[in-house]
Amino acid sequence: MTDEKTIEKLELNKILAEAASFAVLEESKRMLAETRPTAELAEAERMLSLTAEADAALFLHGAGRVEAFPPLADEPERAQKGAALSCGELLAVCGLLRSARVAYRSVLALPPEESPLLREIVSGIYFDETLENDISEKILSPDEVSDYASDELYNIRRSIRSLNERIRAKLAELVGGESAKYLQDGIVTMRDNRYVLPVRAEHKSRIRGFVHDRSASGATFFIEPEQVLEMNNELRELAAAEKEEIERILLQLSRRVGNMAGQLRGDIARLTDLDCAYAKAEYSYKNKCIRPRLNAKGVVDIRKGRHPLLDAKTAVPVSLSLGGNYRMLLVSGPNTGGKTVTLKMCGLFCLMAACGIFLPAAEGTEVAVFQDVFCDIGDAQSIEENLSTFSSHIKNIIGITQRAGADSLVLIDELGGGTDPDEGQAIARAIISFLLSRGCRGIVTTHYTALKEFAYAQGGIENASMEFDRTTLQPLYRISIGVPGSSNAIAICRRLGLSEEILQDAVANLSEGGRQFENILRSAEQSRIEAEEEKKRADALQAEWSAKLAEVNSLRDTLQKEREKLFLTAKVESRRIVNERTGRAEELLAGIEEIAKKSELTEADLIRARTLKNRLADTAFESEKEEQPQPSSRPVDISALHAGDAVFVRAMNARGEVLSVNLKKKEAEVLVGSMRLTVKAKELFAVSAPRKPQERVQVVRKVEPVAAVQTEINLLGKTVAEAVQEVDAFIDRAVLAGLEEVKIIHGMGTGKLKEGIRNHLRTMKNVAEFRSGVYGEGAAGVTVVKLK
């Protein structure tokens, strides 16, 4: 179990305090501040799931937070034993009932599949809306009961108000009458809740009544006049009755509270749990945290993690992993480079997850749930125990080595520091070897070169370094796993302004082996940083071109689909047009044949035959006009191509018109539909001439000359059906006669005849347009028709 010292060193208490600040209830704030990490994987998963549900409830579905209510001490228990609660205590119970009701309904409104744990919490919540309403209506404030709390109380208070008015009226008579000259002041005051008059001492015998008090100087006596004595007595009785009725109302409400004392205690516990979950969710949301994956295998994989107590705008994200191919990390690098912060972040993340709090890291982050987390961080020098820095560190290390095991996370900052370097690094190697043999996971920071060499040779531990920019002499606060880091102490001293003479002397004092090792490390580190920068640029360029290629491919696929859709639509439409025209032509031919079979033809038959013939001609003309020329298999000769020539564009499977020719590039600009395309000569083919239409059968019948055709027709009094039939014959005669414009007289009337005629005119092939007559032509009672 993680001890309190570790929690304080890793600053989990600060994280819990910040999360508690988002809680609404005082009990929730206390509970969150006292939360301790669990060592059970299942419990940690449950707490994280609860936080995830609370996060979705608040920030996805807009659920309301837990409503605040005053803390309850022993009020439910006292009410259960028969005690009457005060107005303020009953209002606190009312707040609890309202909070329980709102929380219950809020959670039940969430999607069931997204809130199983929240529903489990509120499933046992009890609330009594009737009691809640009774308390809120009858209790106005912590000191006041409503007049309408009961009929009896209403009547008593009405009587009190009435009696007060009578008493004040009577006293006003005394103050303003003959007795006024005996009074010290012309005012009415109160003593012992009774109305009295301030009478001068020398005139006290002039006012008959009861003396209640006198002033400190003895100059004024406060006398209750006998005229209001009985009314004051009655007022006292009414006040006592009011008090008794209020106590009865409070006792009645308190008994109802006492009957549910156990349920109210359960409500407090459940609302506290709910409030804690919402507080964790809000903390995680405000700090842009994610839910980590958990495991019990000791694997820690932090991706772009940020210590939650650092400023999110300036903190540099750190990624690290351990527990897989290696169980421990030996982190080296410059001072102020972020070693200690990284070490603390690793331990803090494991503890936060075990408390059900999300982590400020990138998606994919995974941490382990450890049985124990041990740490030795910072200067723990103890004056009281007469311990030096080294002694206090070793005391902590002894405790760690005695208790740490395979399920433990061990975090040690500057292991072996504070003493002779040779002895310190020897002790550090021995401690690390011991911890590795016990199967511990952990992170150790160091400046010892010997430990860096040891990590190269020893299995289960891996070197890591905090990066340092040799150009700017500034730490980069990034961790690199696999290579040790140089302390760069001399470079840092130079940046901080230490004399160059001293620095040169310091370099000369370095051992040859140490100097060479540090130079190799610095060179390797610089080369690695440069290689990573180049890789980043290459990756960015590759990502950019991959995105562009994907965009081009997507556009190509879209164009191909549109082209296929266009061709399919064209085929369907052409098939429909052919079928429609064929059917229409067959109907017209059938009509002509039917007329031809008659032995005698009337004028109407001839007109109808001529009309059918014209319609058949129109149909044939449209078919000829819409027939598309077919491409030949012969490519065009680009040198013989001219603007205006018709060509077939194979890529578009459509006919086009040449706009211009570029002989040098062997390409032409072609208009296909509304698109202007530049097409290579090899994609252009000659267009074969369309098939000649079949000769149309002409129906010729010798008829007698007909009389001159009239230019207008009068349809007044006709039905729509009769008028339409006559309009057909009239228009046919006008067309045969070669008239360009005719007049149809239909009158104003109801407008139905006019509308029916005009609707029919819109369907006639030989009608170009029509309009209402103008003044002198018959105005709106006439339709003037222009023929084709």
Q: Which amino acid is at 17?
A: A
Q: Tens of pLDDT along 551-600?
A: 888 888 888 887 777 776 766 677 677 777 777 777 777 777 777 777 66
Provide the pLDDT for residue 386: 41
**pLDDT value at residue 539:** 85
The pLDDT of residue 688 is above 70 = no
Locus of tokens 């102490």: 489
Q: Is the pLDDT of residue 269 over 60?
A: yes
What are 223's strand-pairing partners?
197, 211
Work out the average pLDDT over 329-356: 90
Q: Looking at residue 694, what is its pLDDT? A: 46
pLDDT band at 393 (very low <50, low <70, confident <90, very high): confident
* Average pLDDT of the chain, as a whole number: 83
**Contact residues for 499 (Cβ-Cβ < 8 A; gap 6+):** none
Tell me: the pLDDT tens digits for 609-627? 777 677 666 665 554 444 4
Calculate mean pLDDT across residues 24-33. Answer: 95
If pLDDT is split at 50, 70 and 90, which confidence band does 474 have?
low
Greater model confidence, 424 or 22: 22
Is the predicted pLDDT of residue 518 greater than 60, yes or no?
no
Question: When comparing pLDDT for 697 and 433, which is higher?
Answer: 433
Of 585 and 455, more confident: 455
- Could you list the residues known to form a binding site, using ranges: 333-340
pLDDT tens figures, 142-161? 999 999 999 999 999 999 99
- In this predicted structure, the answer to whether residue 532 has a pLDDT above a threshold of 80 is no
Give DSSP secondary structure letters for 383-433. TTTTB-HHHHHHHHHHHHHHH--TTEEEEESSTT-SS-HHHHHHHHHHHHH
Q: What is the pTM of this model?
A: 0.61
278 and 357 Cβ atoms separated by less than 8 Å: no
Q: Using one digit for the tens of pLDDT, what is the confidence trace for 718-756? A: 888 888 888 888 888 888 777 888 899 888 878 888 888
How many Cβ atoms from other residues are within 10 Å of residue 269's Cβ? 14
pLDDT digits (tens, 9 = 90+) for 657-673: 888 988 888 888 888 77
Return binding residues for ATP: 333-340
pLDDT tens digits, one per residue of 37-87: 999 999 999 999 999 999 999 999 999 899 999 999 899 999 999 999 999
Would you state the structure tokens that stand for residue 65, as one six-digit string? 């937070």
Helix (H) or strand (E) holding 531: helix 512-596
Q: Are 31 and 269 in contact (CB under 8 A)?
A: no
Whether the per-residue pLDDT at 16 is higher than 80: the answer is yes
Strand order in the sheet with 767-772: 712-714, 741-745, 782-787, 767-772
162 CA to centre of own chain? 61
What element of type H or E holds 597? none
Kindly give, in sequence order, each residue whose CB lies less than 8 Å from that of residue 633, ignoring residues fewer than 6 positions away.
685
pLDDT at 328: 94
